[in-house]
Structure 1
Amino acid sequence: MRRIIDLCKEVPLLPLTLLAAIPLALIPQWRPWGRIHPAFDPGVGEWIIILFVAWTIYTSIREMIDSIRHGHVGVDLLAIVALVSTVCVQQYWASWAVVLMVASGEAIESYAQNKAKGNLAALIKAAPQQAHVVTLPGADASGEADMTDEGFRKVQQAVEDAQREGKPLNAGNGHFETVPVNDVRLGSVLLVLPGEIVPVDGLLLSGTASVDLSNINGEPVPRTIFAGAKVLSGSINGSTTMMIRTTSLAADSQYQQILKLVSSAEESRAAVVRTADMLAVPFTIVSFAIAIVAWIVSGTGLRFAQVLVLATPCPLLIAAPVAYVAGTARLAKHKILVKSQDVLENLGRVTHVFFDKTGTLTVKQPQVVRVEKADGVPADVSEDEILMMAGVVEGFSVHVLAKGIVEAGRSAMERLGRLPSSSGKKASDDHVDASHRALPNPNENYPVVGNVSEIPGKGVRGTVDGHKVEVGRYAFVTGQGIASQKVRNAAEEERNEKAMEAADREAAKLWPDELEPDEMATYIAIDGHLAARIVLRDIPRYNAKQSVRELRDLGVKEETMLTGDKKSSAMIIANEVGITDVRYELLPQDKVEAVRQASQEERSGAETWWERAAAKLLGEPIHRDVTMMVGDGVNDSPVLAVADIGMAMTDGTSTAASESAEVVIMNDDIGAVPKGVRIARQTKQRMLQAVLVGIALAIVGMVCAAFNLIPVVAGAFLQEAIDVVSILWALTALFDRR
């Protein structure tokens, strides 16, 4: 009932038109003023309908002019002429039905649009509105000092006291004040209470926090983050009060970037929707032709009205945009955001997909694939114990291999019972930004780590449970002195590096199995003795092969992998994911040229007469083949920009690539690539079905009306039924199906 009331408030013409039926039924020809003219003398009930007709014509003309000003074809002309003709032939019930059709059409469109925008509205509704700015010394935007533990405790105590005493939290007891989110300055310290939305991007100052990123990337399990980690606007704070120092203004924060994508998609109009507008022109001509012929042949203007009440092109006016808004919302539900509905239309016509290798087809960092123990290591020292020690020490390293070892070490600790099991997700499935990755809070079983130090480019050392642990290059962990000697000049540094490379080659001889071309190794020593070689490699995402296969099943003609890696490494990944076209040893400009050349070749293909006609009709080129580039990193931005469609894969924490892309995957899932293509195709299919079926039924109805098989009042209600069917069918683009 509430929804009906809201709908009537949004479209007041609908309930008023329904009420107008009462005087038309009870006092249609009551004339307290007497007769005016013998040829045209409506009663009270009929005059009320005439007034409704006049208002509807006025609003329709105004909307039609506004549409033309915005570059859309105004096709309300059919409804206007139908209203005028029914009044002229004094078929007031038919006039009432046409007015009802216009009003209910607006109501149905409003309902359908609101239903389709539900997923997008959920994103917008979650936008942060206010922020708690800490007012303690050292917390202002101009202050150089960071908040101390004592200051943080003061703020926490203020929050607890206010809650206990029932005081409003924005009072803050002098420690913080609540302001609109747009008033937050860079560098300010903000307090985020439990369960609140993080208002702007910032860095975590308090020790640890748990954040829910489901609004941003759909990640179902909250992340535990530590001091210094990046905190994104739109994420939801867990059960503890946290403090952040802002790194972006509200307008530039991550969640606002997402909302910009949503807004641009809502405001755009797809090429197919514009095509539907254009189809309304010949439909209008055909409708008038049938109506005029019927009038001439029958000799009565009533037949003209009978035809036109069936001719209003609601399937074109409403069904097409509803389908595309529904498709856009459905993509958003799966964390796939498009910048415009044009992109959604083109996404369904993709024929050639280019993939960046590292971070797109593969995980974001090399993963541990095996541990090879050195000779002389006691049998009771397991591989998991070695991985655990390596992982906790590498947790303090910034080396590119460190993250993979940390992840393997965490899994090893879970197997050893020294760490509570996490979500059960495989390490290879966990694509988490480095700034968010950290080991869980220490407990009584967690290894005791200390005296950690790192020598960049060589290795990291520390103590784990009292054992001296060194992880890094062979010369470093075996204490050959090369890694620790002081370097006085560039020549000495070069000799040092060559000596370490020679030591690495000697180390390879200690193991019978050689490394594959795409594998890399690091070494670990425990208590001064070489313990193992840890082998890592760039592994494909767990669903990369399936995603490539699904694209092929969808009819995508070509899949190409672009990489700067050597041929041997590139071919291993390509074979694993099922891609045969591989371009390797490419510089960024080479990738751009490869995609640009493919786009030009596919554009130059022969077009059919229909495509040429459509291109001329729309005033823009239409190409049968579309290239798409899928990437994730900053260096992918130029390639994303040059492709017909650029698709950026992010985990919701980065925007560099997404700024150059037309499609942004927010949950870092390569499976969203074929899913997006499938949804785009289904959306276009539903739109065309709704439009063509609606037009076909209207034309059949008009022909029947021309032969006097459908009375004028019945025709008006029949057209209403056609409109409802078309719009509801277009709305099915919102629902998931294979």
Structure 2
Amino acid sequence: MEKPQTDRLKTAILLLAVTGLVVGLAAWFAGRADIASIVWAAGVVPALAALVVEILRSIGRGEVGLDIVAALSMSAALVFGETLAAAVVAVMYSGGTFLEAFAEGRARRSMQDLLSRVPRTATRHRDGGLEEVPLDEIAPGDRLLIRQGDVVPVDGTVASGTAFLDTSALTGESLPVRLSPGADAMSGSTNAAEAFDLIATREARDSTYAGIVRLVEAAQASKAPMSRLADRWSLGFLAVTVALAFAAWWFTGDPIRAVAVLVVATPCPLILAVPVALVAGLSRAAHFGVLIKGAGPLETMARIRTLILDKTGTLTDGRPQIMSVDSAGDLAEDDILRLAAALDQASKHPVAQAIVEAAKARGFTLPVPSDVAEIPGEGVVGHVEGRRVIVGGDGFVAARVGRMAGDHPATVAGSVLVAVAVDGHMAGHLVMSDPLREGAGAMLEGLRREGIARILLATGDRADVAERVTEGLGLDGLRAGLTPDQKVLLVLTERKHGPVMMVGDGVNDAPALAAADVGVAMGARGAAASAEAADVVLLVDRIDRLGPGIEIARASRRIAVESVVAGIGLSAMGMIAAAFGYLTPVQGALLQEVIDVAVILNALRALRIAPHEPALPNPRAVTSGPADISQGATP
């Protein structure tokens, strides 16, 4: 049954139960107790019938739910003539399920906001005019007009003017992000200023926002581990309830006490509080740019003890930058950069693309290379304007021009050298660096305050590069030169210290993300494979979002446990009081209704969790694409 139909059925059952209770009370006050009893029983029947159907379905799935207690209490009350108590239980139970649905709906509001903002069409430039086209007709390279107030429909680059994008729906960032021409714009952002042109870089179905929508839909369909735990405890709770009710009847000879015990036990707060609190946590985390794929990962995230971080694109910025251009011959620095960038147009490696972007940023016109040969992990060889050019690692280039490698010191922490040779002679070096993310140290300190006992770095880079980059961060361990399967082995080994979280962004991180108890992907820029394998996706290119995400997860779980402990504790005291005759069935039903409302309201506190925000500057732009420096060389 579809959710809207289910909600309408719950509403109808609640209205029937309330109508039966109110009309029956009116008849009772009018002195017609016989009619009141019939009306109360009639109001109970729809709720009891729906409950029995749901119980049978649960048993068919191999589940024993706590709803059995509610069915027993209503049935026992009807059998022993306590029709008013049965009517109150019917209103209580149907009202509880209705309130739960309402509370979950409110808790999901932030996620639904993401879904409701999906644009259906876009405005495209065509033949000197504008046309409105469906999203699935947009292709990479299309020039789109993004008007003020429009949601960016696909990932792209700003082509004209300066864009001010409101990313609050995706990240919780209150201030618009300023993007200069050439900067990457993430789909799902809202244009907060004047219109600008966007060059599409991806199709709509492959864009960031489309992936976010798919992840949100998957998250909404999840069921929390604590809810499953409640199901496993159902049989034990049912046995205790029935045993206490039978004992009260056996020792006193009064079946009404048994009815009162069953009524007070209906329904258990485990049914209501846990899903509401955890779904509220999912909604709150999404507000801060942390998309958790379900209540299960959120509950596990709250228990994490070990954190494993990838380096490139995760702990570091992942966008290699040219620190300097050093000439080793007669060529000028600009000529070295222009020739290297022209050849690197034929490579998709991040370092090569960074060189190309740096050259374009300086206004260079890049000729098309010819006779290009790429040696993966080493470098690129080809011709540019009739000159033979070699670009790659220092050792790779030096071996091809008859020189010794290592005659250029790379003094910047974590820097790598890209050598350039022209016509058989070493022309110079590009000194590049992948800088550590600003505020990374403060972020790690915050995670330790949240209870993370071990923080390790796992990277495929050389050990010396990784050590220089992470110097002073106080990591508990550094594993360099790892292959994807070795990262998986590290995750499995670290489980002896407790649940493990792995954070990465590349295709090579996907196996480790899947193996970890909680895998976290840098969704704004990371590879699609890592986002698919991960349990949590950071919607923006900011690793500092991880701290608020963990804090929200732990607070949500704590609120859920508090609600359960308080609710069950109060229910247990009420059951004992009913067994000793201090509560009538009607009084017990009213007491349990108060308890249920209280635990749901308490669970909704998760919507107001205010995590500690790191004081970091706004990112200048959100970019997309792979990020990996392999062995300090272009491919």
Which residue does 1:657 correspond to in 2?
Answer: 530
Which residue matches 2:452?
A: 556
- In the alignment, is the contact (CA less than 8 A) between 1:277 and 1:316 conserved in 2? no
Q: String of CA shifts for 1:313-345, please: whole Å, max 9, x gaps.
A: 331211111122112112212211122322222
What amino acid sits opposite 1:671 in the alignment?
D
Conserved in 2, the CA contact under 8 Å of 1:291 and 1:706? yes
Contact 2:299 2:557 in 1 (8 A): yes
1:89 is aligned, of 61, 65, 80, to: 80
1:413-492 correspondence runs (5 A): 452-453=365-366, 486-487=387-388
2:242 is aligned to: 288
1:117 corresponds to which residue?
A: 108
Describe the SS at the equivalent of 2:502: strand
C-alpha spacing 1:311/1:242, structure 2 compared with 1 (3 Å): same
Alpha-carbon distance, 1:226 to partner: 4.3
Quick one: distance in 1 between partners of 2:291 and 2:403?
Answer: 50
Shift of 1:717: 0.6
Letter in 1 for 2:39: I
Distance, in Å, in 1 between the alignment partners of 2:460 and 2:18 is 68
Contact 1:197 1:233 in 2 (8 A): no
CA distance in 2, matches of 1:573, 1:326: 38
Report deviation, 1:50: 1.0
Instruction: After superposition, give the CA deviation of every residue in 1:492-513 in whole Å (9 maximum; x if it has no partner).
Output: x9997458795997776xxxxx
- Structure 1 residue aligned with 2:632: none
SS of residue paired to 1:556: coil
Task: Tell me the SS of whatever aligns to 1:677.
Answer: helix
Give the CA deviation at 1:114: 1.6
Identity %: 29
8 Å CA contact retained: 1:280, 1:313: no
**Equivalent AA in structure 2 for residue 689 of structure 1:** E
CA distance in 2, matches of 1:272, 1:553: 25
Which segments of 5 or more consecutive residues in structure 2 lack a partner in the other structure? 1-6, 370-382, 420-427, 612-635
**Mean Cα deviation higher: 387-396 or 85-94:** 387-396
CA distance in 1, matches of 2:354, 2:138: 37
Give the Cα separation in 2 of the matches to 1:204 and 1:665: 21
* Pairs within 5 Å for 1:558-577: 558-577=454-473
How far apart, CA to CA, are the structure 1 residues paired with 2:578 and 2:462?
72
Match of residue 713, structure 1, among 572, 580, 586? 586
Identify the residue that residue 548 of structure 2 maps to in structure 1: 675
Against the structure 1 CA distance between its residues 702 and 371, is the aligned structure 2 distance closer, same or farther, given a 3 Å change threshold? same
Q: How does 1:695-714 map to 2 (within 5 A)?
A: 695-714=568-587
Matches within 5 A, 1:493-642: 497=398, 515=411, 518-520=414-416, 537-599=433-495, 602=496, 625-642=498-515
What is the TM-score with the length of structure 2 in the denominator? 0.77
What corresponds to 1:224 in structure 2? 179
Match of 2:264, SS state, is: coil
What per-residue deviation string (whole Å, max 9, x for no partner) do you get for residues 188-215 of structure 1? 9575451454575365696456362614
1:118/1:46 Cα in 2 relative to 1: closer, same or farther (>3 Å)? same
| Cα separation, 2, equivalents of 1:577 and 1:588 | 24
Shift of 1:362: 1.4
- The two structures have a TM-score, normalised by structure 1, of 0.67
Match of 1:57 in 2: 48
| Alignment-derived partner of residue 190 in structure 2 | 236
User: Structure 1: which amino acid aligns with 2:532?
Assistant: E
Q: Which amino acid aligns with 2:434?
A: D
Q: List per-residue Cα deviations over 1:48-71 (Å, max 9, x = no partner).
A: 211111111011112222333445
The residue matched to 1:97 in structure 2 has which SS?
A: helix
Deviates more, 1:203-212 or 1:589-598: 203-212
2-side partners of 1:711 and 1:192: how far apart?
Answer: 69
Q: Give the Cα separation in 1 of the matches to 2:576 and 2:604.
A: 28
Deviation at 1:21, TM superposition (A): 4.1
Q: Aligned letter for 2:217?
A: S
Counterpart of 2:314 (choices 360, 367, 379) is 360
Matches within 5 A, 1:717-728: 717-728=590-601
Q: 2:31 & 2:319 partners in 1: Cα distance?
A: 85
Residues 261 and 450 from structure 1, CA distance in 2 versus in 1: closer, same or farther, beyond 3 angstroms?
closer
| 1:264 and 2:236 aligned | no
> 1:347 is matched with which residue: 289, 293, 301?
301
1:41-88 deviations in Å (ceiling 9; x for gaps):
x63333221111111101111222233344543322221222222233
Does 1:298 find its partner at 2:171?
no
Structure 1 counterpart of 2:630: none
- What is the one-letter code of the residue matched to 1:642? A
- Paired with 2:323 and 2:395, the residues of 1 have a C-alpha distance of 31
Q: Distance in 1 between matches of 2:319 and 2:476?
A: 23
**Aligned partners of 2:364, 2:326: CA distance in 1, in Å?**
26
Look up the match of 1:384: none
Task: Name the CA shift for 1:318/1:67 in 2 (closer, same or farther; >3 Å).
Answer: farther
Q: What amino acid is aligned across from residue 718 of structure 1 in structure 2? A: L
Matched residue SS, 1:337: strand
Residue of structure 2 in register with 1:26 after alignment: 26
CA RMSD of aligned residues (A): 4.5
